Structure 1
Amino acid sequence: MRDLRRLSPFPRGLSHCALGLALLSPFAQADFLDDGKARLELRNFYFNRDFRQDEARQSKAEEWAQGFLLRYESGYTEGLFGVGLDALGLLGVKLDSSPDRTGTGLLKADREAPGRAQDEYGEMGVTAKLRVSDTTLKLGTLFPALPIALANDSRLLPQTFRGAWLQSAEREDLSLNLGRFDRVNLRNSSDNERMQVFNGGARNIVLGRHKDSDALDFAGLDYRWMPALTTGYHYAELDGIYRQHYLTLGHALDLRQAGALTTDLRWASSRDAGGSNVDNRAFGAMFSYRRGAHRLGLGYQHMSGDTGFAYVSGADAYLVNLVQINDFGNADERSWQLRYDFDFAALGVPGLTLMTRYLSGDNVRLPGHGVEGKEWERDTDLGYTVQSGSLKGLAVKWRNATSRSNFGSDIDENRLILSYSLPLF
C-alpha cells in the first residue's frame, strides 16, 4: 500500500474519501448508494488584469490555469435517521504564469519560491450528513449561500468553509439555518485557515486584539408569505470582531403580457464584537423589469456609520452592488447601478446571453485625505452554452470590466472561462 503522506493533496484526499466510504459501506443501504450522484466539472480560466495608475507596483496580473472539480453526493440510509456522505476533490493546474504577473487569485502561491505560483494545488473535502424528516445536519466542508456567509466561486476553484450547519424546512413556507464555521479555505489555497474580516478599499476598520477568528456563529430564517413574497432575517457573529443583523425582502410581480417586475431589498447592521471599531448600516435595493428577451435593472446602495461593510475576507459580500471587481461597500459610500440583460434565443440563437452594467459610487469617506472618494465600474458578460450534439453543455464566457477610482486601483480586466460538466453516475 502506498504511503498516503507521499501522495499529492488531490490523490491523498481521494484516498481519504475512499477510506471513509469503505468504513461506511457496511451500514449503507440501497438508497445511500442508488440515490448517489457524481459529476466532474472541467474549468479552464484565463485572467488578465491591467493596472492603469502611474504608481502601480505591478503593471498587470495575468495567468492561465485548468481546474478539475469532482463532486459526489450520496443518498441517505433508510430509517428515522438517514445518514449520508458527500465528497469534493479539487485540483488546479498552472498553464501559464510568471513572477511579474501573479496575483490573479487563480493559483496558489509557492511558499518555497516567493513570488511564484505553484505548478498545481489541490484539496479534498468530506461532508457527513444526518437527516431527520426535512431537517439536515451537515458536518465538514460546506458551501454556504447565506446573506452572512456567501462562498466565493469567481475563480478557478471555489472557496469553502468548515463547520456544522443545520438546515430545516419542516414547513413548506419556512426555512431555518443554524450553525458555526471555524475555518475558511480560500479559492486559491489548499489550507483551512482562521477567518478574518475584509478590510480593503476604504473600509476604515480598525481591529483590536483579535486579528482573526475561529468562530462564525449564525442563525437565520426565511419565510414565504405568498409565492411572490419572501422575507428573511439572519444573524451572525465573527467572534471577537463583529456582530451582524441582516434583513431581506424579495418580491416578484407578474404583469402578464406587460412582463414582470422583481424587487430585491437588503438591510444590514454591523457592530463590533470584542474591540474592533466595526460600525456600519448597509441598505441596498435592486429593481428589475423583464419583458421577453430584455431585462432592465436599476440598483441603489448606501453605506452609513463609522466603517464600511463587514464580511468574512475571501467570501462574497451580500450586497446588490457587488460586481466583477468592486462591491461599493466603503465607508459612507452611495452608489447606483444600471444593468441590461438580453437573451439571444429571441433572435434564434438559444444559449447566447449578454449582460452589461454601469455603476457609480461617491461620498466615500477618506480620513486624512480631505477629499471625497469616487469610483465607477463598467462590466460586460457575453456567454454561450452549446445546446446539442457531442459538446452539449460546454459553456464559454467572456467577462470584461473597467474600474476607475481616486482612492484605489485603476483596472482594465478580461476573463475567459470555458467550463464543462460531465455526469459520472
Structure 2
Amino acid sequence: MNKSTLALAVAMGVLAQQASAAGFIEDSKASISSRTLYFDNDAREGGADQRQTVTGLKFDFLSGYTQGTVGFGLDVQGMVGINLGGGIDNHSTTTANTVTPVDSDGTPVSDWSRLGGNAKIKYSKTELKVGNALAPNLPILVSNDGRLLPASYQGAIVTSKEIDNVTFTAGQLNREIGRASSNWAGIAAGGRKGSNAFRFGGADWKVTKDLTLQYYYAELEDYYRQNFLGLVHVFQIAPDQAFKTDLRYFNSKSDGKNGDADYSYKNGYYKDGGEVDNNTWSAAFTYTLGGHSLTLGHQRVSDDGGMAFLNNGSVVDGRGRGEGEGGTSVYLYTDIMYNNFTKAGENSTFGIYSYDFAKLGVPGLKATYTYVSGRDVRNTSGNGSYDEWEADYRVDYTLQSGPLKGLGFSARHATFRSEGVENFDQNRFYVNYTYALW
C-alpha cells in the first residue's frame, strides 16, 4: 500500500467513526452501475484492428456531511472490469487493444479492479475533496469516461460558491489512472516521464441568467502553462426556441524542463522539438427549435505546435487522438469518437445535428450526427500539410418505464479519413444501467 492510499485509508477510518452523526448517513446515496461495451475498430489500410467485448460494474457511495460548522464526509468508489472476448492476439501484428489493461505479452487481462475514495470537508459554501477518486470536469481537464471504466485522479480539489453567481475551483493532482489501466502513474503529457503536479484554478461567473464567463489557469509541471477564456450566451427566442453562442480560447506555453528529451510534448508537428507554444480558439453557434438542435462552428490551432492537454495515451506516434483513443477528453466540440483535430496548423469546420424524439412521442430516443473537416494540418516535419475529416453517427435510447426503467442503449459509428495518417471505421455499442441502492 503506497503512502497516499494509506493516508486515505486512515482518513476513511476517522470519518467512519462519525458515521452515526446526523447527516452523514441520512443524506448519503449509494448505487451500482453496470456497463457492457462492444468495441470494433477497423483499420482500412491493413493496420491494427480491434474487436472486443467487455463488461464492468461500478459501486458509488456518497455520504452526507456530519453536523456542525464544519461538516465531514466520505465518498467511496469500487470498480471491476471483465474481458468477455476479443482484443489483441499476441501472435499477430495486425490486432490492437485499447479497452483493457494488458499482460506482459500484450494480451488483455481477464479482469481488473480498483478501489478508491475521497475524504471531504464542507464549510459554508466551500467544499474540499482529497483522495484518489477525483473526476474533474473543467475546461482545462475533462476526465474521460468513453470506454468501460472512467479515468481517476489523485490529489485535492476545492470548490467555493461563497460569492453569489460565481463558482471558484482550484486544486492540485499528482497521480492518474487511465480508463484502460490498473496502475497509477505520474500525470502524462506525451513525454517519456510523467509530471508529479498538475495545478489549476479558475472561476465560472454567471453574469446574468443568460451569460456565463469563464477563466482558468493550469500548470502541468515541466510541460506547460495554460490560460483559458470562455463565454457562453443563450438567447431565449421562445419557450422552445433558443440561440446559443459558445466561445473558447486556450493559450499554452512551455514550463520547466519541457523540450528536454524526457519532457518533450508531442501532438503532431512542433517547431522547437516538443516545446509547447500554442493558441487554440473555437466559436460554436447552436440553434434549437423543438426537438431539433443544429450547431455550426469553426476552430483554429496555431502553426508552431499542437494544442497542449493532459493526454494519458491520447498522443500516439505523434498524432493527437480523440476521446476514443486517449484517456483524457478535451474541452472542444471537435473532440469526437476517434480524432480531436488539435494538431499544429489545423483549421477545422464542424457541424452537429441532433433530434430528440420525445417531440414525436418517443421519450428517451435521441439521434446525433457530427461532421468535422480539418484542413492545413502540418505534418510531423513541418514541411507540408494534409487534410482529414470524421463523420460520427449516434443513436441513444433509455427505457422510460417498467421494471428496467433507466436501462440505456447507445450505438455509435465513426468514419475517419486522413491524408496524413491511417484511416479507420469504428463501431461501439453500449448497454448502461444504474441501480440506486438508497
What does residue 173 of structure 1 align with? 165
Give the TM-score normalised by structure 1.
0.90
Shift in Å, 1:373:
1.7
Shift in Å, 1:211:
3.2
CA offsets 1:37-84 (integer angstroms, 9 cap, x no match): 000000000000000024x2x2x1111000101111000011111000
C-alpha separation between the residues in 2 aligned to 1:88 and 1:25?
15
Secondary structure of 2:16's counterpart equals: helix
C-alpha separation between the residues in 1 aligned to 2:164 and 2:398?
33
Secondary structure of 2:17's counterpart equals: helix
| 1:90 and 2:79 aligned | yes
Amino acid aligned to 1:107? T
Compare 150-159 and 338-347 and name the one that shifted more. Answer: 338-347
What does residue 344 of structure 1 align with? 357
Aligned counterpart in structure 1 of residue 423 of structure 2, from 399, 410, 425: 410
Aligned counterpart in structure 1 of residue 34 of structure 2, from 36, 39, 42: 42
Contact 1:268–1:281 (CA under 8 A) maintained in structure 2: yes
**Pair 102,22 (structure 1): closer, same or farther in 2 beyond 3 Å:** farther
CA offsets 1:180-203 (integer angstroms, 9 cap, x no match): 0001110011221101214xxxxx
What does residue 315 of structure 1 align with? 328
**Pair 378,90 (structure 1): closer, same or farther in 2 beyond 3 Å:** same
**Pair 256,375 (structure 1): closer, same or farther in 2 beyond 3 Å:** same
C-alpha separation between the residues in 1 aligned to 2:39 and 2:202?
36
C-alpha separation between the residues in 2 aligned to 1:411 and 1:384?
26
C-alpha separation between the residues in 2 aligned to 1:49 and 1:143?
27
| 1:123 and 2:114 aligned | yes
C-alpha separation between the residues in 1 aligned to 2:212 and 2:70?
30
Shift in Å, 1:257:
5.7
CA offsets 1:325-367 (integer angstroms, 9 cap, x no match): 1110000100011111011112221111100011100111114
| 1:396 and 2:409 aligned | yes
**Pair 168,258 (structure 1): closer, same or farther in 2 beyond 3 Å:** closer
What does residue 221 of structure 1 align with? 203
Structure 2: unaligned runs, 5 residues or longer: 260-274, 312-326
| 1:70 and 2:62 aligned | no
CA offsets 1:208-233 (integer angstroms, 9 cap, x no match): xx832010011111111001100110
Contact 2:11–2:119 (CA under 8 A) maintained in structure 1: no
Compare 318-327 and 93-102 and name the one that shifted more. Answer: 93-102
What does residue 18 of structure 2 align with? 27
Shift in Å, 1:104:
4.4
Contact 2:170–2:202 (CA under 8 A) maintained in structure 1: yes
Amino acid aligned to 2:219? E
C-alpha separation between the residues in 2 aligned to 1:303 and 1:21?
45
Secondary structure of 1:388's counterpart equals: coil
C-alpha separation between the residues in 2 aligned to 1:218 and 1:287?
28
Shift in Å, 1:18:
9.2
Compare 219-228 and 252-261 and name the one that shifted more. Answer: 252-261
| 1:138 and 2:129 aligned | yes
C-alpha separation between the residues in 2 aligned to 1:247 and 1:266?
6
Compare 164-173 and 153-162 and name the one that shifted more. Answer: 164-173
| 1:249 and 2:249 aligned | no
CA offsets 1:9-36 (integer angstroms, 9 cap, x no match): xxxx9xx999865543332302001111
Aligned counterpart in structure 2 of residue 188 of structure 1, from 172, 180, 188: 180
Amino acid aligned to 2:217? Y
Contact 1:42–1:69 (CA under 8 A) maintained in structure 2: yes
**Pair 215,22 (structure 1): closer, same or farther in 2 beyond 3 Å:** closer
C-alpha separation between the residues in 2 aligned to 1:373 and 1:159?
32
Aligned counterpart in structure 2 of residue 110 of structure 1, from 103, 121, 139: 103
Secondary structure of 2:175's counterpart equals: strand
Contact 1:378–1:403 (CA under 8 A) maintained in structure 2: yes
RMSD: 2.1
Compare 100-109 and 255-264 and name the one that shifted more. Answer: 100-109
Aligned counterpart in structure 2 of residue 278 of structure 1, from 256, 261, 276: 276
**Pair 369,242 (structure 1): closer, same or farther in 2 beyond 3 Å:** closer
Shift in Å, 1:143:
0.6
Secondary structure of 1:171's counterpart equals: coil
Amino acid aligned to 1:229? L
Secondary structure of 1:30's counterpart equals: coil
| 1:328 and 2:341 aligned | yes
Aligned counterpart in structure 1 of residue 213 of structure 2, from 224, 231, 235: 231
What does residue 371 of structure 2 align with? 358
What does residue 266 of structure 2 align with? none
C-alpha separation between the residues in 2 aligned to 1:341 and 1:397?
14
Aligned residues, how many? 399
Structure 1: unaligned runs, 5 residues or longer: 5-12, 199-206
**Pair 196,26 (structure 1): closer, same or farther in 2 beyond 3 Å:** closer
CA offsets 1:151-198 (integer angstroms, 9 cap, x no match): 010000000111011110112300111110001110011221101214
C-alpha separation between the residues in 2 aligned to 1:220 and 1:102?
42
Give the TM-score normalised by structure 2.
0.87
**Residues 290-301 of structure 1 correspond to what in structure 2 (within 5 A)?**
290-301=288-299
Shift in Å, 1:317:
1.3
